[in-house]
Amino acid sequence: MSMCRFLGALGLLLSGLPGLAGAQPRLPPEVLQALQRAKLPEEALSVVLEEAGTGRSLLAWQEQRPVNPASLSKLVTTYAALDRLGPAWTWRTPVWLLGEVRDGVLHGDLVLRGSGDPTLVLERLWLLLRRVQQMGVREIRGDVVLDRSAFALPETDPGEFDGEPLRPYNVRPDALLLNFRSVTYGFVPDAAGGRVRVTQSPPLAGAESDRTVPALPGPCSDWRAGLKATFAPEAGARFAGGYPVACGELNWPVADPAPRSYNARLIEGLWHEMGGQLGGRVRDGAAPADRAPSFEWLSPTLAEVVRDINKFSNNVMAQQLFLSLALHSGNAPVTWDNARSTLRTWLDARVGAGATAEVVLDNGAGLSREARLPPALLARLLQQAWGSPLMPELLASLPVSATDGTLRRAQIPAGRAHLKTGSLRDVAGIAGVLLSDSGRRYVLVAIVHHPQAGAARPALDALVRWALADAPAR
């Protein structure tokens, strides 16, 4: 045994001796050294390491201190959804053809009512409209009416969190969220022609972006800044700069700068691109309460959606799910307050109201400065999930070390850890399940809360490697 591991094991042994039972065990030497290199105090880190299934504690350090969990909040939201709704649950978007269809013409309105489905991206919206066309509709003489009343959320500045309103992760949730209210610009170099072709997806009515930009020599560095882009509301993108050929083909997803009109421009543009005609306009309105829908459009299963949320830490999808939990519980229209109340009721039932006194849930995604959660509580939820029938679905949704999702570049052994990651400017965290060298499974929750938390990743990697090597069990 190395001297570092011997000292770590000795610290754990001494913590269990009479008179020292209440003492906090020190962190593993490897982790302490990594924190020192990052100029972070050990008090910045909170850790829980337990054997999965038995709950046997192997390391606990400031585990009861409420800290900002960042995107680790998504573990609470997704586990609650799987538990309350079941892995096979789906969102349903009702669609009405209000009028007679004759000779390819709908003499009336087409109505869509949102229920929070986060998967109505371009491809699935195309399929929904294709279903309308398969019902014989090529022309809509009336309007396309969008019922967004299931969520009653205040209008807020999309840049209020971090001053980045055009980042797709800052898109606000909506009962009828289409394509994340975002536009993706693609750049395809033509070195021989000295130009770079610009593509735009999806098509938006009234938006004409620049079709080409100059091809630039030199390395692929800060290519977004080099494009000198401006994104005018409802008018498309303009690029005053150029694009380095060395970058190859790349995409730039951008939150639309005019989110209120995005749905209307998207549906109108897509419907026309599909060969359809629209006599009226696309507008917000109410779905009929006295008649059954013509059909319902189903989302992928919740298990599939949870996988996308956790693997790629999708904030918008997590918030949609957080609000949908309240809608499913009968809280309509849904507000942030009754969504928080719904999740807290579930959490109290799981761990007891006394254990949740200092929990702040906020928006269920972790894109928050106010959210708070003791690491010990999150470890307790993971232990419960490990012993439940939902364990395979939740575990499969987590990024796999050095393999996929937000852990694809992690400096830890490939395939040995399923860990949700979380990061903000002052938070870095991981939580999930490890498979150690001996075949033991460990539940791990580790969160660094400090202004320099971005430098803590090597320390978290060191903690994972220490646990994988069964150092705490020796």
Q: How many CA atoms lie within 13 A of 310 on its CB side?
A: 30
Average pLDDT, integer, range 34-57: 97
**Largest CA-CA distance found in the chain, in angstroms, rounded:** 88
Examine the domain organization and report whether 118 and 256 are in the same domain.
yes
Pairing of strands 243-244, 45-51: unpaired
**Residues found in the chain:** 474
Question: Could you tell me the pLDDT band of residue 236, with boundaries at 50, 70 and 90?
Answer: confident
**92, two tokens:** 């349903």
Residues 209 and 340 in one domain: no
Over residues 55-113, the pLDDT tens digits come to 999 999 999 999 999 999 999 999 999 999 999 999 999 999 999 999 999 999 999 99
- From the number of C-beta atoms within 10 Å of its C-beta (0-12, 13-18, 19+), residue 39 rates as exposed
pLDDT value at 184 more than 90:
yes
Domain final residue, candidates 256, 273, 299: 299
Whether residues 51 and 156 fall in one domain: no
Model confidence pLDDT, tens digit, residues 262-307: 999 999 999 999 999 999 999 999 999 999 999 999 999 999 999 9
Q: Residue 332 sits in which domain range?
A: 3-87+303-473
402, 253: one domain: no
Spatial separation of the C-alpha atoms in residues 143 and 153, rounded to whole Å? 25
Statement to judge: residues 132 and 249 lie in one domain: yes
398 to 317, 366, 391: CA distances (angstroms): 15, 16, 11
Same domain, 145 and 285: yes
Give CA–CA dist 416/432, Å, rounded: 11
Do 56 and 189 share a domain, yes or no? no
7-29 average pLDDT score: 50
Total of domains in the chain: 2
**Are 285 and 210 within one domain?**
yes
Over residues 385-417, the pLDDT tens digits come to 999 999 999 999 999 999 999 999 999 999 999
Of 433, 440, 429, nearest to 372 (Cα)?
429
Cα of first residue to Cα of last residue in the chain, in angstroms, is 9
Same domain, 123 and 8: no
Count CA atoms closer than 13 A to 386's CA, side-chain side. 20
Q: Which of 261, 281, 299 is the last residue of a domain?
A: 299
User: Which CATH number belongs to the domain containing residue 418 in this structure?
Assistant: 3.40.710.10
Confidence of residue 474 (pLDDT cuts 50, 70, 90): low
State the pLDDT confidence band at 22, using cuts at 50, 70 and 90.
Answer: very low
Q: What's the rounded Cα separation, in Å, for the pair 466 and 302?
A: 34
Same-domain check for residues 49 and 174: no
Phi and psi at 441, nearest 5°, equal -105, 130
Return the percentage of the chain with pLDDT > 90, whole number. 89
Helix axes 336-351, 73-85, angle to 10 degrees: 80
Same domain, 426 and 337: yes
Last residue of a domain, one of 272, 299, 326: 299
Report pLDDT for 174. Answer: 98
Q: What is the CATH number of the domain that holds 264?
A: 3.50.80.20
The answer to whether the CB of 2 falls within 8 A of the CB of 468 is: no
Instruction: Give the C-alpha separation, 343 to 80, whole Å.
Output: 7
Residues 336 and 469 in one domain: yes
- Residue 21 predicted with pLDDT over 80: no
What is the rounded average pLDDT for all residues in the chain?
A: 93
